[in-house]
Amino acid sequence: MIKIAPSILSADFANMGRDVERLAAWGADAVHFDVMDGTFVPAITFGAEMCRAVRPYTKLPLDVHVMVEHPETYIASFRDAGADYFTFHVEADRHSHRTLQKIRMAGMKAGIALNPATPVCMVEEALSECDLVLVMSVNPGAGGQKFIPGALRKIERLVQLAREYGYRYEIEVDGGINAETAALAAEAGAMMLVSGSSIFKAEDPAALIAQMHALDKKI
């Protein structure tokens, strides 16, 4: 089944509990958390305390995507705050294999993210330690950007590697996902679709999520 993870980057920050609570009713499968540190990317968003604050508002898994330098230093705080997935950028960590192991040891699902300019071969030797691989389809740092089609080739390559070696990671795509690009990503083999502005700005978010779920049957 294709999972839909709305990004709360596009939620109302002054009403975060309310907006997170709505996601289950809309049919979402996870809550995507975009953590930015002002260094790995220019913007600053929020950290583990936001996770802790919204945890009581949903039973959905919290899918944390950290766009930060030194990601390993934040593993314990996000785990303690109730995160289920912890995904960091390979570009921000010289020891990504070890960081993935630490995330699993902390009891979370371990994910690694690739910027648009980073090829899949950069993470190939760490895939055995991954529960999730996040293919960025925009440059990280902001919502509302245009989907970069090169992401599709990378998703296809990750599907191929999973088949070849028997890996069981989920493939997630993040950035510029709307009804059209969701179809392209699902066809390429993405299993978890992150969508911020399209879902939060939709007239009927539940209908858009249902439409994205239905892509399952078309592939």
Binding interface with ligand DX5 (CB under 6 A): 7, 9-10, 32, 34, 65, 138, 140-145, 174-177, 194-198
Q: Counting contacts by CB under 5 A, is residue 129 touching Zn ion?
A: no
Q: Is 34 considered catalytic here? A: yes
Q: Print burial letters for 176-195: b (CB count within 10 Å at least 16), e (below 16).
A: bbbeebbbbbbebbbbbbbb
DSSP summary character for residue 41: S
Task: Record the tokens describing residue 118, joined without a space.
Answer: 């980073």
Distance CA 146, CA 9 (A): 16
Task: Record the tokens describing residue 28, joined without a space.
Answer: 């979402």
Minimum CB–partner distance for residue 179 and ligand DX5 (Å):
12
Of 60 and 101, the one with the shorter C-beta distance to ligand DX5 is 60
Question: Among 34, 37, 63, 131, which one carries the catalytic annotation?
Answer: 34
Q: From the list ligand DX5, Zn ion, none, which binds 145 (C-beta under 5 to 8 Å, kind-based)?
A: ligand DX5
Q: Is 80 considered catalytic here? A: no
Minimum CB–partner distance for residue 106 and Zn ion (Å):
20
State which H helix or E strand residue 113 sits in: strand 109-114
Distance CA 131, CA 47 (A): 22
Site for Zn ion in 163-202 (CB under 5 A): 174
Site for Zn ion in 109-128 (CB under 5 A): none
Minimum CB–partner distance for residue 199 and ligand DX5 (Å):
7
